[in-house]
Structure 1
Amino acid sequence: MEAFRIDVPQSRLDDLHERLRRTRWPAELESVGWSYGVPVSAVRELASYWLDGYSWREHEERLNRLPQFVTEIDGQRVHFAHVRSARSDALPLLLTHGWPSSFADFSRIAADLSRDFHLVIPSIPGFGFSGPTRVAGWSVARVAAAWVSLMASLGYSRYGVQGGDFGSLISPAVARLDPAHVVGVHVNALTTFATDDMAGLTPEEVERARGVERWQQISGYAAIQSTRPQTLAYGLADSPVGQLAWNLDCFESWGRDVGGVARDDVLTNVAIYWFTDTAGSSGRLYRESAAAWERPSAPGTTPTGIAVFPGDSTVRRYAETAHNVVHWSEYATGGHYAALQAPAELAEDLRKFFGGLA
């Protein structure tokens, strides 16, 4: 295990800026909005800001305020931030990001959460500063096993787990692998699938359940990353604007939550993917993890808390078929990227849930 500090060479920044200046922009249809994908105007505006307004060095310095390390687990480099609380009795909390996010999402709430928790914030293998994966097989289950090893290596015998998006799959998988040490699971942005005709659901729950159908209509990105991630990688590895557009589509919820994530947070995530050349390897998680979307044969036994934010397709009745739900919260503000869009609400929900398990 070695200390790590983010330090992107200036030559990489110069190359990025040159590529942004030389972007070849595609043609597009008029008056179709987001219905065919990200509008050129949206990408042009953000790319212009990336070139002339956004400061990577400022955010690099901000991220480096988090103590960071790299280690090797199961033959793979693993990067993580480790923020110890001043409280000697603080509960260790393992935070897992999703796609197209990174460990940087949690940098916005780390100082707040560290008042009550020791924080371990890893980069999923294949993402960001963990670098590209080199062998096949890095699925949700394998990532979860790596997280169990990571927490053991840090000397934590009792800890909680939290995650959104892919983190909402990885975190419960950690608990299933390590039930003797995981005291609780907290998730947001959890997708649940209807198992019946939805009779008895409230109108709000029906609307959430139908969110899965709406997602399937625009989920081409997931289909590609689940089947041909290497083919996609060539364009994303060669064009920063290609990487920006691909990730922005999800950050803006395919046109339904434009501006919901601050543009500096979007660009910090996109820049991490670009500088670490992890566009292709992060996409492979979709191909490796097809089985992770299947409902387990029996609910998990670890106490589970679920926070639901606007846009989430999460229905309690269906969540309870896979999880031991003991805590449920619904919020009127925020969104899929809760650590960025509703940091105070997420932090408070974590305190309420894990405080009740003490």
Structure 2
Amino acid sequence: MDIQPFHINISQSALDDLRHRLSRTRWLTPVTDAGWSEGTDSGFLRRLVDYWQHHFDWRAQETRLNALPQFKTRVADQEIHFVHQRGTGPAPLPLVLTHGWPGSFLEMEAIIPLLADPGSHGGDARDAFHVVVPSLPGYGFSTAPAVKGTGSYEVAGLWAGLMTNLGYERFGAQGGDIGAGVSSWLACRYPERMAGLHLNFIPGSYRPYLGEDQPAVSEEERQFQDRVAAWADQQGAYGRLQGTKPQSLAFGLNDSPAGLAAWIAEKFQAWSDCGGEIEHAVSLDALLTHISLYWFTQTIGSSFRMYVEGRARPMQLQQGQRILPPLGVAQFPAELPMPPRSWVERGYNVRRWTVMPRGGHFAAMEQPRALAEDIRAFFRPLRESASQR
């Protein structure tokens, strides 16, 4: 397999074009005191765009990111960008981390060293991982599929191929958001290769088998279904649009950096544990690095494909079907609606369930140390069985 080192190098002309477009933003006149209730707050967006145009230093972010060991390769005719940080310890366990939307591989930047070299960060070197962080197809520097049909199920196959080509036959998986779906499909499709599965979100399309031979839905589970329905009514319009008519939206966001910033910033404000203020969870520099990655790679439209494909192939388990590898769950308080443990146990082999004190949907960015420690603790008893395979 041909694996090539990769370094980020955005052209100066692209940087100049971005600043020019930002300077020509056509601003809306919102209703008074709308705040964040109907989308991104106008005052925040003006401040964000001003910072992006006049103060944000992409070159500094680029230099820092290029310290990560990045590569590109082809798996089943798909070009994949990935970070591959080898672990420092006596027997590192391979672990593939998968991001979601509106994230990218950048979500994992802070947690990579905590997992790859725990001994240098207050942990035990015996908990080290060989960390692999691929960019989903059509996100960042992974090329977009040219035809329909690449969703979480198919990405799991790509990741299995990538891990094989890196020499990792037995490995663990971790993810949230779309990454939780990819990781779950990995465990479902390749149980014999999985040492364990750790999630900080349960895939939204997950539905256990609920036939007559199964326990009736409990009151707690029914309340969860009601919460999901209420959340979808109040906050789910983005997913419906991205999963049904994504292209019309993508044309506008691909052409307007201010529009792109508004669309992505809304989700960071709504889904992070920030108390309504984004900067309580992530810095403007971190937020704009994510947004800039989408802008420079022109991948906002291709990122929506995962929503289209997810609707076409949801994770609905059939009679007798279970996800067999051990599962650990880190439940963060500001996460999107999470099911009770009983709902997850209907389809997964739950071994660990940790209620975290702080954090939201972007857990690896918001609370990297807490998430890393839960991942290490979950996999600790699974390492011996993994090494014996």
User: Out of 223, 227, 234, which is 2:240 matched to?
Assistant: 223
Alpha-carbon distance, 1:295 to partner: 2.8
Q: How does 1:248-259 map to 2 (within 5 A)?
A: 248-253=265-270, 257-259=276-278
1: CA distance between counterparts of 2:224 and 2:189?
A: 33
- Matched-pair contact (CA < 8 Å) for 2:140–2:297: yes
Paired position in structure 2 for 1:269: 290
User: 2:251 pairs with 234, 252, 275, which one?
Assistant: 234
Q: Which sits farther off after the overlay, 116-125 or 181-190?
A: 181-190
The CA RMSD measured in Å over matched residues stands at 2.0
1:110 is matched with: 112
- Verify: 1:344 aligned to 2:385, yes or no: no
What's the secondary structure of 2:95's corresponding residue? strand
Change (3 A) 1:208 1:57: farther
Return the alpha-carbon distance in structure 2 between the equivalents of residues 58 and 258 of structure 1.
Answer: 25
State the identity %: 40
Q: Deviations over 1:18-50 (max 9, x none)?
A: 111111111211122222111211111111111
- Paired residue type of 1:106: M
> Is residue 178–residue 203 contact of structure 2 (8 Å, CA) maintained in 1?
no
Distance 1:46 1:215 in 2: 27
Cross-structure match for 2:355: 330
Checking the alignment, whether the CA contact within 8 Å between 2:242 and 2:304 is kept in structure 1 is yes
How many aligned positions are there?
Answer: 355
Residue 181 of structure 2 is aligned to residue 169 of structure 1? yes
CA offset at residue 292 of structure 1? 4.6
Residues in 2 aligned to 1:164 and 1:150: alpha-carbon distance in whole angstroms? 20
Compared with structure 1, are the counterparts of its residues 346 and 209 closer, same or farther at alpha carbon in structure 2 (3 Å cutoff)? Answer: farther
What residue is the counterpart of 1:305 in the other structure?
A: 328
Does residue 145 (structure 1) correspond to residue 157 (structure 2)? The answer is yes
- Per-residue CA shift, 1:115-166, capped at 9, x if unaligned? 1111000000010110333221111111111000000000001110000110
Matched residue type, 1:332: P
* CA distances 1:148-192 after superposition (whole Å, capped 9, x unpaired): 000000000111000011011110101122212111000012256
Distance 1:198 1:38, change over 3 A: farther
Question: Partners of 1:322 and 1:269 in 2: how far apart?
Answer: 34
Partner of 2:219: 199
Return the offset for 1:249. Answer: 1.1
The one-letter code of the counterpart of 1:107 is: E
Instruction: Quote the Cα distance in structure 1 between the aligned partners of 2:228 and 2:203.
Output: 9
- TM-score of the pair, normalised by structure 2: 0.86
Contact persistence 2:104–2:135 (CA under 8 A): yes
What is the TM-score normalised by the length of structure 1? Answer: 0.94
CA shift digits 1:238-277 (9 cap, x unpaired): 1111111111111111796431332222111111111100
Aligned counterparts of 1:135 and 1:226: Cα–Cα separation in 2: 16
Q: Any idea what SS the aligned residue of 2:343 has? A: helix
1:128 equivalent among 101, 115, 140: 140
Report if the CA contact (8 A) 1:295-1:322 is conserved: no
Rounded to whole Å, the distance in 2 between the matches of 1:46 and 1:157 is: 44
Task: Name the residue aligned to 1:295.
Answer: 316
Measured in 2, the distance between the counterparts of 1:208 and 1:354 equals: 30
Instruction: Provide the C-alpha distance between the structure 1 equivalents of 2:62 and 2:232, rounded to a whole number of angstroms.
Output: 33
Residues 1:83 and 2:90 aligned together: no
SS in 1 for 2:295: helix
Unmatched 5+ residue regions in structure 1? none
Q: Distance in 2 between matches of 1:141 and 1:191?
A: 12
Deviation at 1:88, TM superposition (A): 4.5
Output the amino acid matched with 2:115.
L
- Which one-letter code corresponds to 1:258 in the other structure? E
